Every structure is written in structure tokens, then in C-alpha cells.
Structure 1
């Protein structure tokens, strides 16, 4: 009974390592997005918190907007996530006002840390010696390609005519020997039903 419980717990841990943490973090990101959108729609932010982005527009017959309008979406700049709040077109520029999305940034950082931990990556090492287990796993997981090349160097004056053997190995190896005589053709009249 104890073995079954331990096996179930280990299988649950394995499945969580494979899929569960990703599903949990995706759910948390969706909830953070929903809370941020609710906060923006309810105007629960200060204008001083907004970051302004100006994107040049090269469109003919461009109209200038007098007021901002609500827009949805997000952008990542230098590793920082921003959620769009409002936008307007002004003097051939698209002006976007964004809020930094700190909650989603923390969830994304957690996702990166968990991915590194579950996959045995140590990107925070900064020149320190890696553990012996990491070295062993690295050696095991490296692609190994065992080429057995038999190079022979000959002088320029020597000629090699080994490929002109009388037993004709090149063509004889292309055909497989047949183990027995093929069956005789069977006519439908020979079959007794």
C-alpha cells in the first residue's frame, strides 16, 4: 500500500514538472492580465504612472486625434512588460500610454527560474564551478556522433585500381540472395472453394 502511495506521489510530481507548473503559471498570468485590465478600465491608476511611447507613422492623409482612446495589448521593452492604456495619433506619431505590468513580470521571472530548475540549467553560475552531477548530465546529453573515417593518403604518382577487382564487389553487393524458389503462379481455377 505504501509503495502505491509513493508511486502515485512520484508520478504526480513528474507530471507537475512536465505540465503542471506551466499550466499553473499560465493561469496566474491570465489572472494578472484580468486584474490589470480591470484596474485600467476602472481608471484605478495615476497619470504619473503612465509611460509614454511615441512611434513614428508614415501614412498619407493622416488625421490627428484630439483625445486619447482606450486600447488593449501589451509590449515588452528591454525585458519589462507594459500594458497599453490609451493611444492617439498626433503630428505623424502614434502616442501610446502604458502601465508597467509588475505582477506579470514577476510571474514571467518565476517561470524562467522554474524552467531552469526543472531542466537542470544553471544560468546564474557566473563563472563558478558547476556541480559534478551537472557535468555528468552534460556529457550524457551531448549529441554523440561516432564517425569512423578511414582516410588513406597516397602519393600523387601512385594510382589506386582496387575498385577494378575481378570479383566485382560493387555490383554483387547490390543484390540480395534469394532464400528459396518463388512460388508458382496460381490460377483462379486451381483454387478449390
Structure 2
């Protein structure tokens, strides 16, 4: 009985540690999988499609005359969308998207609204939640190093050294001492 209670309490504790995040990711995965299956079978309402225009600057390409099938996901503001068609021109990219209501509901349910919390660690004057960052102020240099070596010809020569000994014993320059007995 004690083991059963310990297992139940341990499983509750482990679920509190990471089970919610795993369960949340599983539901997001299932929602994406269902939506992708419906899109691949053309089981979506054409009247639900939303056209999104994204300004681009690609003067080298030729403009497409019609939409091409493409699949992917994008998120605008509070809504999640799956795009199904794409058309490019030199100055605009047109993306036809279909709303993914289930994923939008899951994502919005997981957001913590900080404005409802009374004891925020920052003051009301120093509110940095709405601060916009201008990325053009920041720049970094990218330096590319290429460490490739060029092949060189290596010439090898074989040399053998032969040592010849004339006798098995080495001679000494003086007489060895006599053995004292």
C-alpha cells in the first residue's frame, strides 16, 4: 500500500515538473498533423483562405503568373495559420493561408497574461514590455576565414644505411686490470 501511494505521489510530482509541457506539445503536434492531412487532401473551405501580402525586393526573379502549392505554418498576432499557396512578384510575396483554429486556441490558452499580476517586479514607469527595438542600430561584422591547404608534391627518397663490424668484440685502448684473488 505504501509503494502504491509513493508511486502515485511521484507520478503527480513528475507531471507537475514537465508533464504539462509534454502534454501541451503533444496536443500541438496532433493539431498540426490533422491540419496538414486536411490540407494535403484539399479538405478545406476555399472561402476561409486569407491572402497575406509581404513586401519583398527581388528584382532578379520573374513574376509568377499563378499560385504554387506550398505548405508551412505562420503566426500573425494571436492567430496561427497554415499557408497553402504562394505567388511571387518582384516586389510582393502573396501567401494564401487558412486559419488553424485548434492551434490558435491551444497557443492562446498557454499565454500568461502579466497585466493581471499585481506584484510585478518592475515599476509602472519602467514598463519595458511594449518597448520596440530598432534592429538597424545593431550591426556586427562577419569575418570568414578559409583554412584550406593547397596540395603540394612530396618527393620521397629511400636511403639505407649499413653498419659493418669487423669483429664481434670491441677493442679497448688499455690493458684491463688484473683479477685479485
TM-score by length of 1: 0.55
- 1:110: Cα distance to partner? 3.4
Q: 1:18 maps to which residue?
A: 17
- 1:58: Cα distance to partner? 0.8
Distance in 2 separating the partners of 1:21 and 1:84: 29
Contact 2:69/2:85 (8 A) holds in 1: yes
Residue 65 of structure 1 aligns to a residue in which SS? coil
Distance in 1 separating the partners of 2:108 and 2:10: 26
Residue 43 of structure 1 aligns to a residue in which SS? coil
Contact 1:62/1:92 (8 A) holds in 2: no
The answer for unaligned runs of 5 or more in structure 1 is 117-121, 131-137, 139-193
Contact 1:87/1:96 (8 A) holds in 2: yes
Q: 2:70 maps to which residue?
A: 71
- CA-atom RMSD in angstroms: 2.3
- 1:123: Cα distance to partner? 4.3
Give the structure with the higher percent helix.
1
* Structure 1 residues 108 and 8: CA distance shift in structure 2, 3 A: same
Larger Rg: 2
Deviations along 1:125-153, whole A, 9 cap, x unmatched?
A: 476xx8xxxxxxx9xxxxxxxxxxxxxxx
Contact 1:32/1:104 (8 A) holds in 2: yes
Q: 2:52 maps to which residue?
A: 53
Contact 1:49/1:99 (8 A) holds in 2: yes
* Structure 1 residues 125 and 6: CA distance shift in structure 2, 3 A: farther
- 1:28: Cα distance to partner? 1.4
Residue 74 of structure 2 aligns to a residue in which SS? strand
Q: How many residues align?
A: 120
What is the 5 A alignment of 1:1-193?
Answer: 1=1, 3-90=2-89, 92-112=91-111, 123=114, 125=116
Q: 1:191 maps to which residue?
A: none
Distance in 2 separating the partners of 1:124 and 1:107: 20
Contact 2:53/2:94 (8 A) holds in 1: yes
Q: 1:133 maps to which residue?
A: none
Contact 2:59/2:90 (8 A) holds in 1: no
